[in-house]
Structure 1
Amino acid sequence: MNLPFLSVVIPCWNEARFIGPFLDSVLANTYPADRMEVLLVDGMSEDGTREIARRYAVRDPRLVLVDNPGHSKPAALNLGIRQAKGDVVVRLDVHAEYPPDYLENCVRGLIEHPQADNVGGVRISRARDDTLLGRAIAYSTTSVFGAGNSKYRVGVAEPQWVDTVFGGCYRKSVFDRIGLFDEQLTRAQDREFNHRLRAAGGGILLLPEITCTYYARSDLREFCSWTFEAGYWPFRASRTVGRWIGSWRNVVPMAFVAALATGAAASPVSRTARRATGAVLTAYGLTALTFAVRLARKHRDPALIAAMPPVFLATHVIYGAGSVKGALERT
């Protein structure tokens, strides 16, 4: 099979900790070296990322450093796509490592499924720091209870048509057909683009044989900030583009937070509210504990039984609070 020329586009900013192992995994891929380019679109990093990337570029001419004067991720993606020479564009994340056959599997997936415009795989989450909290945060994103029906997070056994994938491998003609990433969106630009793609009749395919390892945030403050923003942006982005681009999994945590807030407000004067709120919390606690036990068994890590329920609760409450702000904000 003659593989098409491939352009790998990588938005990047201040990633000195991760850029070396990441580039090692990308440049070690089995995709024919004369059939690919790697465009690292850097937001003028100041932590040594650019110097590391330049050393790699000297050794491997496939790697090209592209300047992105701002830190905007959608602007970085668009700069890379405009410069891309390939018929296929793969978007990669620096906080991940990719097996040797990743790129080839992505491109072959597009070739073997002509009805697909975007192909992706399953994201395996690992902790950036091997602490109990770090492991609990990483594993929470692979659980149905923590991630809902996000298939690229929880995994699939066979190919499935989905609403989004991690990163993505696109036919470049898609960008000519429906445009580039929306640079108004600091976050959720992937979600908006894939929603626009599906609305235009395009297909997004998740293939289980495509996998990568993603290093999830382990720091509590970073985790809380990221989770709040993750809840906020589906609503903010939807308002910005003038259409709903989320799914039911974006609404459930907001409903949970609203129910708890309503119950807490009414409980001092209503026995029914106290009982209902207590029932909701009891059911939630038992469900969280059940999923915690499953994860502890799966990963052979008994300490997760105690760590997972608080992480689940923090995830849902913080995400829901972000969604409430995003839904109510009018500016």
Structure 2
Amino acid sequence: MLSGSHPADRMEILLVDGMSDDGTRDIVRTYEQRHPRLRMLDNPGRSKPAALNLGIRAARGDIVLRLDVHAVYEPDYIEKCVRGLLDHPDADNVGGVRRSAPRTGSLLGRAIALSTTDAFGAGNSKYRVGASGPQWVDTVFGGCWRREVFDRIGLFDEQLTRAQDREFNNRLRQAGGRILLLPDITCTYYARSDFGEFCSWMFEAGYWPFKASRSVGRWIGSWRNVVPLGFVAATAAGLALSPFSLPARRLTVGMMSTYGAAALFFSGRVARREKDARLLLGLPVVFATTHVVYGAGSVWGILDPGKT
């Protein structure tokens, strides 16, 4: 950010810290002394939506841009986001494409990272799979807004520990706002490479669109969030009925065979593009895990009686 292409004298940097104890705060204080435009804000509750709202309230500029951790941003990222917002007065939120890289160089880590940017694993999420040109979308990674957007529709919902960005963008669109994806704006996200962490991540990803929708009283997701749920529900019903029904057994076998063929096809396409035949071993497992665990999370998001 400090060495990026956007003029340093035309921005302030607010780092909202959840009272970390890993040495981050000492490092930030050192930077604060050298760069007066950098300020650290305390987030004692360690809540992501609370952190976002703290930053928005403290920001003094007319444009607010969000940068998350676990990602590396191109030197021109801020400049392109701001320019994109200024060049498109009909856009209320501007973002770009989030590339995915593995945290480790293992086959599983590479397969997980690649699955998150393939349409078979990510659906029609344009900020994941990319786009050939500017597109109006339902959400983007991070975001760049005019400050008046928050005055108009409010801040992030602090009762949602996850999916607060999805809810905010849904609320923005319901209020007549528009979200623009510009594919020349890019950053790199480091996906989880540990299988256990990946499963937990997928379960949470499937859980929150449904749990958050119940919490706010309206559907905030997309059709891509429903597909894994339908797959898991249909497979579970088919397996339960198969011992008692020949048609159910045939339909279940046909459905699972079709899914397996599709997983192999998309895995082969990625392996050919990446010139790595080993991905044919890892990607089908990752795709299947993505859909089954995501769908299971969706089921629990519908049934979970607890509060957010």
TM-score (norm 2): 0.97
SS in structure 1 of the partner of residue 36 of structure 2: coil
> Structure 1 residue aligned with 2:189, among 214, 220, 223?
214
- Residue 93 of structure 1 corresponds to which residue in structure 2? 68
Structure 2 distance, partners of 1:54, 1:215, is 26
- Residue 299 of structure 1 corresponds to which residue in structure 2? 274
Structure 1 unmatched ranges of 5 or more: 1-25
Amino acid at match of 1:72: S
Structure 2 distance, partners of 1:192, 1:307, is 33
- Residue 6 of structure 1 corresponds to which residue in structure 2? none
> Structure 2 residue aligned with 1:284, among 235, 259, 266?
259
SS in structure 2 of the partner of residue 27 of structure 1: coil
Structure 2 unmatched ranges of 5 or more: none
Amino acid at match of 2:175: A
- Residue 98 of structure 2 corresponds to which residue in structure 1? 123
CA offset at residue 221 of structure 1?
Answer: 1.4
Question: Is 1:154 aligned to residue 116 of structure 2?
Answer: no
- Residue 49 of structure 1 corresponds to which residue in structure 2? 24
Structure 1 distance, partners of 2:2, 2:275, is 33
Q: How many residues align?
A: 306
CA offset at residue 56 of structure 1?
Answer: 2.8
- Residue 320 of structure 1 corresponds to which residue in structure 2? 295
- Residue 177 of structure 2 corresponds to which residue in structure 1? 202
User: What does 1:136-175 align with in structure 2 at a 5 Å threshold?
Assistant: 136-175=111-150
- Residue 207 of structure 2 corresponds to which residue in structure 1? 232
SS in structure 2 of the partner of residue 269 of structure 1: coil
Structure 1 distance, partners of 2:46, 2:289, is 28
Q: What do the CA deviations read for 1:160-201 (whole angstroms, capped 9, x no partner)?
A: 000000000011110000000000000000000000001111
CA offset at residue 249 of structure 1?
Answer: 0.6
Structure 2 distance, partners of 1:27, 1:220, is 35
CA offset at residue 276 of structure 1?
Answer: 1.0
Structure 2 distance, partners of 1:221, 1:59, is 41
Structure 2 distance, partners of 1:227, 1:63, is 34
Structure 2 distance, partners of 1:56, 1:132, is 37
CA offset at residue 51 of structure 1?
Answer: 2.2
CA offset at residue 46 of structure 1?
Answer: 1.6
- Residue 188 of structure 1 corresponds to which residue in structure 2? 163
Structure 2 distance, partners of 1:179, 1:272, is 52
Question: Is 1:272 aligned to residue 255 of structure 2?
Answer: no
> Structure 1 residue aligned with 2:6, among 31, 52, 55?
31
Question: Is 1:257 aligned to residue 232 of structure 2?
Answer: yes
CA offset at residue 85 of structure 1?
Answer: 0.8
Structure 1 distance, partners of 2:274, 2:24, is 33
Structure 1 distance, partners of 2:251, 2:34, is 64
- Residue 244 of structure 1 corresponds to which residue in structure 2? 219
Q: What do the CA deviations read for 1:71-127 (whole angstroms, capped 9, x no partner)?
A: 100000000000001110110111111111110000000111000010000010000
RMSD: 1.0
CA offset at residue 62 of structure 1?
Answer: 2.4
Structure 1 distance, partners of 2:188, 2:32, is 24
CA offset at residue 328 of structure 1?
Answer: 2.1
Structure 2 distance, partners of 1:60, 1:217, is 32
